[in-house]
């Protein structure tokens, strides 16, 4: 069963590479200039490369949102500081600035009304012991100056603000933090607790949150965040939780900026990695929403990924050629939160290495994976029933499924206990709705351990070690 | 339960089993990380398989079920567990071992000895179907002819058909195979990486050949195939075989290594090391993705028909096995590998050139094929005669 019947066959791109060999050394578009850039078998000169990338972006943008729209909408560009989102801002700017003669001559309807840029400052997670009062490491000002350079309005938020009552709808991240940091480690890691833990994470309606919640100082929020990350026992769980925080904040930012479109700078490489990662953590159910060019899952806020056809290498080159300034170290570093060497690897990092490595040997890997996922139809589910943590769709019956395939009862005590458990689990599952995901029920993520909320069924059991 | 805690309440048991709490744990369960004693491990392992069988309604009472047996760990444990569950829960199944002899010296001949021992140990009748008898070629011959590249294509296509033919000879309703959770998770990843949506959709279903649609006329499609180990970790199968001291054969096929799939396998093992539930998580995702594919109109399966030569289910006029076989017999081993249409055309042109029109050659081949087929079947009926002298399950 280990021998496979088929090997990947030669793709169109690879076949075309043969035809192109005639022009080796020259740009494949103009065929006159010497090529300077090679992307998947195709050689380009600088000007042709920029044109090609720009048209790729325009095509994707048109597919995500047809030009013949009735009313122009506001768009929020998510800017992390890395090359992909930096390229996104620049491409949007090029796209949106009409040549003067067109702009003056004709009352052409605008396709996008206002362009906003937002940024999440993760500097509090860059270093283990940073003095909070100094804003030395803060990326906010850099991001602001880039955005204002284009004349776009800028919105910024710090990652620790997830614990600010203003920034959360449901305060359930609060519950996660309390839960994880107060429980004993072994309680988190023993099996059978998952449904029980899940039931404790209940979104509180916004009104009550406002009344009762005391304003936290920045330091308190940071401490809370750090305590949460410290309590997660695996790097995978930490990364997943942070990702949920980011997406929750981004949606909030878009809504506050009166934007009905949120544009993410996910490149093809990134999306391919995400597809495999989501599959591996059991989030296949919500995968179509999280990787598609256009997702209308979130109420009143469409999420688009217009760079979905561009490889990360292309975007790097693009930033280099245009001399776009990037923010160095903009991404939360979790190295310092790890106590043991065993934690150094996470599912995301493994997937990253896997896809990048495979793509070197089989250069069509990224494109194939993206195309596969693009053909999937998202599940039918409504936003009202979203998981409070990951905001994804909730898959029904997950706990029961897991209970049947992972038996955790001793030989004697069979039927009675299990059935009653399952009933309870089911009952609880519905209200809290964990995220789709999977296997674990909720946000899969956590699976392992840590974040109960997400307790995946399976998982929850896990890492005793 | 013999509990140390009962006799010496002052001295609590060191490292007790997480489930029964009364016996010292001797293993860490790969699927959950729980520390268990041997008995509890056997219990959860067997119960999960039982749940899988019951929840998916794999069998009906009185079904005749063939166990695809290679002599390796998966199929050995499968045979053992199927017999055990059949007795324990009175499924009322009539179990038979079915082995395929690919004719690989140094691998299959040895593993078949294991299967024969299993037959005696478990008292389950056994039928061995060989490539040499069915197709006139053993894998050793094929590799001699075409080299090591692509030989897995022949082996895979032939085996699938050989299993079905064996099943027809035995007149069974169902074939169970030892594919485990690792295999299925790996297949899910492979199908995403290859962009194969139709296969992505099918690969997580526990029963295949479940043809509710139009295939009334197709004989082979009535036999179901299923994978009772769908949610069973490979590591646990090995552990189970070890603690039960089962007799199995553990050598990799000498012709098998495959680069692309190898990558996926290594990646899967890395994932499992980081998070032990990754395998089941991937299967869970695969099931969800398969539902997402279903809604998509563009990925319909090709319509199925019967092969004009051997009558086996096929999406073309000739089934893949017949095509490969024809390639071998005519010295065109590339036929059926990669871009077949082109080679098929070349082949037809060659036929025309040699004065034979292709329809004639085809029909004559059909005649040959069926005659050959009859001879084969007769030899196998001899085997079937032997089968009847084997002890049946009832008498055990």
- Segments making up each domain of chain B, as ranges: 42-304, 316-363
The pLDDT assigned to B349 comes to 65
**Are A20 and A151 in the same domain?**
no
| pLDDT score of A332 more than 60 | yes
**pLDDT-based confidence at A113, cuts 50/70/90?**
confident
The pLDDT assigned to A422 comes to 35
The pLDDT assigned to B335 comes to 65
CA distance B163 to B129: 8
What average pLDDT does range A310-335 have in this prediction? 86
- pTM of the shown model: 0.81
Interface test with B, best of A1, A11, A393, A395 (most B CBs within 10 A): A1
What does the block give as tokens for A148? Answer: 């204002």
**Are A55 and A71 in the same domain?**
no
ipTM beyond 0.85? no
**Are A70 and A59 in the same domain?**
no
Residue A4 lies in a domain: no
B69 is in an annotated binding site: yes
Residue A446 lies in a domain: no
The pLDDT assigned to B221 comes to 57
Residue A178 lies in a domain: no
**pLDDT-based confidence at A108, cuts 50/70/90?**
low
The pLDDT assigned to B81 comes to 95
Residue A227 lies in a domain: yes
Q: What percent of chain A has pLDDT over 90?
A: 23
What average pLDDT does range A258-276 have in this prediction? 93
The pLDDT tens digits of the residues spanning A13-48 come to 667 666 666 677 888 888 888 888 888 778 889 999
B100 is in an annotated binding site: yes
| pLDDT score of A6 more than 70 | no
Contacts of A268 (CB under 8 A, 6+ apart): A307, A308, A309, A310, A311, A312, A366, A367, A370
Report the C-alpha dihedral over residues A54, A56, A62, A67, rounded to 10 degrees.
30
**Are A121 and A259 in the same domain?**
yes
Q: Residue A447: which of B21, B275, B282 has the nearest Cβ? A: B275
Q: Does A370 touch chain B (CB under 8 A)?
A: no
How distant, in Å, are the alpha carbons of A163, A180, A245 from that of A214? 11, 21, 20
**Are A30 and A151 in the same domain?**
no
**With contacts defined as CB-CB under 8 Å, which chain B residues touch A5?**
152-153, 156-157
Which CATH code is given to the segment(s) B42-304?
A: 3.40.50.620
**Are A26 and A144 in the same domain?**
no
CA–CA–CA angle A406, B204, B29 (5° rounding): 25
Contact at 8 Å (CB) between A290 and A274?
A: yes
**Are A39 and A149 in the same domain?**
no
> Whose CA is closest to A432, among A396, A379, A460, A382?
A396
Contact at 8 Å (CB) between B127 and B383?
A: yes
Residue A352 lies in a domain: yes
The DSSP element (H or E) to which A116 belongs, if any, is strand A112-121
The pLDDT tens digits of the residues spanning A156-178 come to 998 888 887 777 665 667 667 66
Domain count, chain A: 2
Say yes or no for a CB contact (<8 Å) between A464 and B295.
no
| pLDDT score of A421 more than 70 | no
**With contacts defined as CB-CB under 8 Å, which chain A residues touch B193?**
8, 276, 358, 365, 368-369
**Worst-scoring range by mean pLDDT, A231-235, A435-439, A461-465?**
A461-465
Would you report the helix, strand and coil content of chain A in percent, each value rounded to 5? 50, 10, 40
Q: In terms of CA atoms, which chain B residue is nearest residue A460? A: B32
Domain C-terminal end among A379, A399, A426: A379
The pLDDT assigned to B160 comes to 84
Residue A355 lies in a domain: yes
Contact at 8 Å (CB) between B95 and B65?
A: yes
How far does the CA of residue B40 sit from the closest CA of chain A (Å)? 6
Report the C-alpha dihedral over residues B198, B201, B204, B205, rounded to 10 degrees.
-100
**Are A300 and A339 in the same domain?**
yes
Query: What single DSSP character describes residue A362?
Result: S
Strands B305-306 and B313-314: antiparallel
What average pLDDT does range A247-276 have in this prediction? 92
**With contacts defined as CB-CB under 8 Å, which chain B residues touch A459?**
275-277
**Are A60 and A74 in the same domain?**
no
Residues of chain B with pLDDT under 70: 1-11, 209-221, 256-261, 294-303, 332-396
Contact at 8 Å (CB) between B18 and A461?
A: no
**With contacts defined as CB-CB under 8 Å, which chain A residues touch B274?**
234, 236, 345-347, 350
State the average pLDDT for chain A.
Answer: 75
What average pLDDT does range A93-111 have in this prediction? 69
The pLDDT tens digits of the residues spanning A192-248 come to 445 455 555 555 554 444 445 566 788 888 888 888 888 777 888 888 888 988 988
CA–CA–CA angle B371, B373, B378 (5° rounding): 100
Residue A451 lies in a domain: no
What does the block give as tokens for A131? Answer: 């003095």
**With contacts defined as CB-CB under 8 Å, which chain A residues touch B52?**
404-405
**Are A34 and A75 in the same domain?**
no
**With contacts defined as CB-CB under 8 Å, which chain B residues touch A405?**
48, 51-52, 231, 280
Tally C-beta pairs within 8 A across A and B. Answer: 227
CA distance A350 to A296: 30
What average pLDDT does range A413-431 have in this prediction? 38
What CATH number has the domain bearing residue A155? 3.40.50.620
B337 is in an annotated binding site: no
The pLDDT assigned to A196 comes to 52
Domain C-terminal end among A39, A64, A89: A64
Q: Does A12 touch chain B (CB under 8 A)?
A: no
Residue A99 lies in a domain: yes
Contact at 8 Å (CB) between A277 and A284?
A: no
How far does the CA of residue B94 sit from the closest CA of chain A (Å)? 25
Higher pLDDT, A20 or A323: A323
**Are A158 and A20 in the same domain?**
no
How distant, in Å, are the alpha carbons of B186, B189, B190, B260 from that of B267? 9, 10, 11, 11
Bridge partners for A112 per DSSP: A73
The pLDDT tens digits of the residues spanning B256-305 come to 665 556 788 899 999 999 888 899 999 999 999 888 886 554 455 566 77
Domain C-terminal end among A340, A363, A379: A379
Bridge partners for B100 per DSSP: B129
Q: In terms of CA atoms, which chain A residue is nearest residue B229? A: A405
Q: Residue A317: which domain range? A: 66-164+216-379
B179-215: b (≥16 Cβ within 10 Å) or e: bbbbbbbbbbbbbbbbbbbebbbebbbbeebeeeeeb
Q: Residue A447: which of B260, B277, B287 has the nearest Cβ? A: B277
**Are A55 and A131 in the same domain?**
no
């Amino acid at each position: 069963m280990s021998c496979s019947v088929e090997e990947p066959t030669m793709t169109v791109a690879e076949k075309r590479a043969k035809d192109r060999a005639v022009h080796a050394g020259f740009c494949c578009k103009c065929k006159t200039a010497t090529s300077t850039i090679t992307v998947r078998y195709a050689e380009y000169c600088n000007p042709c490369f920029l044109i090609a990338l720009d048209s790729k972006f325009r095509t994707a943008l048109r597919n995500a949102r047809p030009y013949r729209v009735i009313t122009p909408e506001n768009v929020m560009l998510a800017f992390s500081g890395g090359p992909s989102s930096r390229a996104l801002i620049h491409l949007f700017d090029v796209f949106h600035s009409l040549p003067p003669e067109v702009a003056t001559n004709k009352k052409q309807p605008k396709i996008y009304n206002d362009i906003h840029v937002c940024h999440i400052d993760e500097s509090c997670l860059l270093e283990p012991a940073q003095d909070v009062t100094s804003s030395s490491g803060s990326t906010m000002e850099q991001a602001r100056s880039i955005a204002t350079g284009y004349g776009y309005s800028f919105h910024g938020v710090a990652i620790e603000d997830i614990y600010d009552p203003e920034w959360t709808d449901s305060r359930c991240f609060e519950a996660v933090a309390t839960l994880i940091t107060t429980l004993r480690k072994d309680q988190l890691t023993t099996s059978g607790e998952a449904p029980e833990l899940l039931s404790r994470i209940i979104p509180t309606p916004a009104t009550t949150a406002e009344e009762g919640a005391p304003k936290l100082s920045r330091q308190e929020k940071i401490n809370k965040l750090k305590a949460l990350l410290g309590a997660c026992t695996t790097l995978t769980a930490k990364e997943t939780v942070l990702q949920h925080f980011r997406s929750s904040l981004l949606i909030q930012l878009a809504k506050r900026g009166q934007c009905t479109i949120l544009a993410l700078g996910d490149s093809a490489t990134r999306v391919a990695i995400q597809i495999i990662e989501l599959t591996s953590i059991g989030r296949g159910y919500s995968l179509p929403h999280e990787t598609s060019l256009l997702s209308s899952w979130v109420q009143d806020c469409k999420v688009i990924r217009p760079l979905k056809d561009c490889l990360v290498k292309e975007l790097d080159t693009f930033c280099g050629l245009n001399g776009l300034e990037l923010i160095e170290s903009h991404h939360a570093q979790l190295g310092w939160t790890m106590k043991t060497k065993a934690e150094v690897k996470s599912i995301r990092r493994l997937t990253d290495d896997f896809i990048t490595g495979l793509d070197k040997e089989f250069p069509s890997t990224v494109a194939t994976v993206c195309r596969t996922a693009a053909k999937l139809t998202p599940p039918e589910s409504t936003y009202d029933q979203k998981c409070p943590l990951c905001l994804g769709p909730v898959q029904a019956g997950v706990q029961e499924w897991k209970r049947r395939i992972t038996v955790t009862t001793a030989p004697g005590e069979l039927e009675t206990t299990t059935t009653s458990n399952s009933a309870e689990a089911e009952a609880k599952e519905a209200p809290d709705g964990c995220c789709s995901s999977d296997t674990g029920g909720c946000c899969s993520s956590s699976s392992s351990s840590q974040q109960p909320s997400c307790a995946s069924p399976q998982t929850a059991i896990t890492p005793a070690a | 339960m013999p509990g140390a805690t009962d006799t010496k309440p002052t001295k609590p048991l060191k490292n007790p089993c997480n489930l029964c709490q009364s016996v010292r744990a001797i293993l860490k369960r790969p699927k959950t990380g729980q520390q268990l004693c041997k008995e509890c491990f056997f219990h959860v392992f067997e119960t999960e398989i039982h749940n899988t069988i019951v929840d998916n309604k794999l069998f009906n009472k009185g079904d005749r079920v063939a166990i695809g047996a290679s002599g390796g760990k998966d199929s050995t444990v499968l045979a053992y567990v199927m017999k055990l569950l059949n007795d324990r829960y009175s499924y009322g199944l009539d179990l038979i071992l079915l082995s395929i002899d690919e004719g690989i010296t140094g691998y299959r001949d040895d593993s078949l000895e294991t299967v024969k021992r299993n037959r005696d140990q478990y008292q389950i009748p056994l039928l061995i179907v060989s490539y040499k008898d069915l197709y006139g070629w053993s894998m050793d011959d094929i590799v001699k002819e075409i080299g090591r590249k692509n030989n897995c294509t022949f082996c895979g296509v032939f085996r699938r058909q050989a299993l079905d033919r064996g099943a027809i000879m035995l007149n069974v309703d169902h074939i169970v195979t030892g594919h485990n959770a690792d295999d299925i998770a790996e297949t899910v990843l492979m199908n995403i990486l290859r962009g194969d949506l139709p296969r992505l959709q099918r690969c997580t279903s526990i029963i295949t050949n479940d043809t509710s649609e139009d295939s009334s006329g197709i004989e082979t499609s009535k036999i179901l195939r299923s994978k009772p180990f769908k949610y069973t970790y490979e590591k646990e199968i090995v552990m189970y075989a070890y603690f039960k001291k089962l007799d199995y054969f553990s050598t990799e096929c000498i012709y098998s290594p495959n680069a692309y799939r190898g990558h996926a396998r290594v990646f899967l093992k890395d994932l499992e090391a980081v998070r032990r539930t990754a395998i089941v998580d991937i299967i869970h995702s695969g099931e969800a993705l398969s539902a997402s594919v279903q809604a998509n109109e563009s990925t319909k399966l090709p319509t199925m028909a019967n092969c004009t030569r051997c009558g086996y289910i096929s999406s073309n006029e000739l089934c893949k096995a017949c095509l490969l076989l024809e390639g071998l017999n005519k010295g065109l081993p590339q036929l059926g590998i990669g871009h077949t249409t082109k080679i098929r055309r070349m082949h037809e042109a060659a036929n025309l050139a040699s004065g034979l029109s292709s329809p004639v050659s085809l029909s004559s081949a059909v005649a040959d094929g069926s005659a050959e087929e009859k001879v084969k079947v007769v030899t196998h009926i001899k085997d079937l005669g032997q089968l009847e002298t084997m002890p049946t399950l009832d008498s055990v």
